[in-house]
Amino acid sequence: MSKKITSLSILAFLLIFIGGCGGSGHSSTTTNEVPVVVTISDQPSTLGVLSFDLQITGACLLTSANATATTCSGAQSLFPANQGTITAQLDNVQTSQQSDVLATGTVEPGTYTAILITFGTATAAVNVDPGTTATDTATPPHSCTAAATPVVCELSPTLTATSVNLPFTSPVMLAAGQPVDFGIDFNVSDSLVEATAGATNTFTITPAVLVSATTSAGSDGNLIDVSNVTGTVTAVHTSSFTMTDSTTGQPVTLALATGSTSTVFNGFGSCTSSNLSCIQTGQIVTVNFGVSDTNPLVLTASSITDNSAFQDTQAFQGTVVETGATPMVFVTGVPAGNTQGVAVGQTLTIVPPTTSPGFSIAVPAGQTLPANVSFAGAGDLVVGQNVMVDSTGITTAGSVSTATADQIILEPTQFNGSVSAITSPNLTVNGLNNFFADNQITSMQVQTGTQTTFGGTVATTGFNGITVGDQANFDGFLFNGGVGQPPIFFDEDVFDNGTTPAVKKSN
């Protein structure tokens, strides 16, 4: 693994963000308050990070009267009073253009001089290179050693800073009534600091954060659009439904769109009414939604996908870490309601399904996969695929736990790399992180098409703006390319960083 040297980094426009970040302890929105939505994202890691869970215990705005505070006691809270600690599973939001919502609410207009953010604990699952050891500074420390093959190690690295008091260069005034989206980019790769001694890598966390603020709506009238949020339905109301977001653990209440842009329902089988009657408590759904540029804010689902009738009691999400006769999945997410004792950080041997519905793909409605890819059986599994597994039961023998699956859904995977060849409309990408490299995956065949959106330096030029040597983030579906061939990647999103790699933040 390469050594990371990092520190807390703040963009110049942090002042704007701090002034309006988060939801407040107020339960209602009035014209005298500032409606806000707080979102979080992560960049795909140059380090093999399979999961990263971060506790955010508090955040508050400070005035000149309490500018040196070390706790949020008596300060303006940025999150609703009943929200408590938020644990964000950042492995699920590893693209710069894909964010998830931490909170919505209001803050009081006024003048503020600083922000205080506090963190709790964090856990990280990292790929350990053959012949090396990964450890942390916990008491007692967690440690994993890889022999001839890589292993995935669940660590609890210590945060070098559990609270950050960030004063403004000048006081910030908040205006009432203007909705604001405040985006937090917590860069996991840069935040994980490795102290290397021989073949041992000891991990700590020095938070590396970028932030942004958006006050204007996009072309669709939304302040922000959020995609691929998976969670468990906990309640169905008269004109909306509530789900628990598996990434943040927070409830999200969504209205349905009406008119010419009504909510699209996918995969609901015999329920063809395309309304709330199709949604049932306990279903696991994946939604795309927009946050309105209005006061108060309204969250409206643009699409809802039923995950093949998966139920909350027996489903989990994970990353394929071994294929062949005994495929294995590292658990990265457990929807609320699971009763099988599955936990993030477990590695489970999988007995693949042999009967229908078996294997399926969570490709959005209206998209057509290329003819040369398949996800129909155990032979189509490849290391690095993200999947949702519906388990009929879990058994444990010694140190080995096995999940018997009756359904496996292929979900999007995120990675970054360097464009090494261009054959329109496809790309060859190498420079992959050590998780892929250790598993003999050194390149990807990326297939773009009408399903692909472009961001970063190619936001306006699209595919034709990509050049050899560009560093880019990719989000889409990973397929087995066959014996001796690189995997095939059906690309949904490209975020091009240009020919210069992203600058690492350091002291």
Q: What percent of the chain has pLDDT over 90?
A: 50
Query: Could you tell me how many residues make up the chain?
Result: 507
Confidence at residue 16, expressed as pLDDT on a 0 to 100 scale: 36
CA–CA distance, 168 with 263 (Å, rounded to integer): 42
CA–CA distance, 114 with 282 (Å, rounded to integer): 42
CA–CA distance, 15 with 175 (Å, rounded to integer): 14
**Residue 120 scores a pLDDT above 60:** yes
Confidence at residue 58, expressed as pLDDT on a 0 to 100 scale: 82
By the 10 Å C-beta count (0-12 exposed, 13-18 middle, 19+ buried), 12 is classed as exposed
The residues facing 49 across adjacent strands are: 126
**Residue 293 scores a pLDDT above 60:** yes
Neighbours of 331 (CB within 10 A): 23
Averaging pLDDT over each range in 262-271, 437-446, 496-505, which range is the top one? 437-446
Phi, psi of 263 (to 5 degrees): -60, 135
Averaging pLDDT over each range in 9-23, 51-65, 413-427, which range is the top one? 413-427
More confident: 173 or 252: 252
Q: CA-based angle 503:505:507, to the nearest 5?
A: 135
Confidence at residue 489, expressed as pLDDT on a 0 to 100 scale: 97
Taking the model in full, what pTM does it have?
Answer: 0.82
Confidence at residue 507, expressed as pLDDT on a 0 to 100 scale: 27
CA–CA distance, 87 with 407 (Å, rounded to integer): 28
From 217, 219, 211, select the one nearest 298 (Cα to Cα).
217
**Residue 47 scores a pLDDT above 60:** yes
Phi, psi of 189 (to 5 degrees): -60, -45
Q: What percent of the chain has pLDDT over 70?
A: 89
Confidence at residue 330, expressed as pLDDT on a 0 to 100 scale: 93
Contact in structure between 481 and 445 (CB atoms under 8 Å)? yes
Tokens representing 380 are 């189509």
Which DSSP helix (H) or strand (E) runs through 285?
Answer: strand 283-292
Contact in structure between 38 and 102 (CB atoms under 8 Å)? yes
CA–CA distance, 184 with 172 (Å, rounded to integer): 18
From residue 364, give the alpha-carbon distance in Å to each of 70, 278, 369. 46, 18, 10
Tokens representing 446 are 């990326």
- Average pLDDT value for residue range 366-374: 88
Residue type, 278: C
| Confidence band of 25 (pLDDT split at 50, 70, 90) | very low
Averaging pLDDT over each range in 108-112, 161-165, 230-234, which range is the top one? 230-234
- Average pLDDT value for residue range 202-225: 85
From 367, 342, 350, 356, select the one nearest 447 (Cα to Cα).
367
| Confidence band of 76 (pLDDT split at 50, 70, 90) | confident
Strands 315-322 and 347-351: unpaired
- Average pLDDT value for residue range 312-334: 91
From 153, 161, 506, 484, select the one nearest 345 (Cα to Cα).
153
Q: Which domains does the chain have, with CATH numbers?
A: 14-214 (no CATH), 222-311 (2.40.50.320), 315-411 (2.40.50), 413-496 (2.40.50.320)
- Average pLDDT value for residue range 296-320: 88
**Residue 137 scores a pLDDT above 50:** yes
From residue 299, give the alpha-carbon distance in Å to each of 89, 104, 160, 205. 21, 10, 36, 33
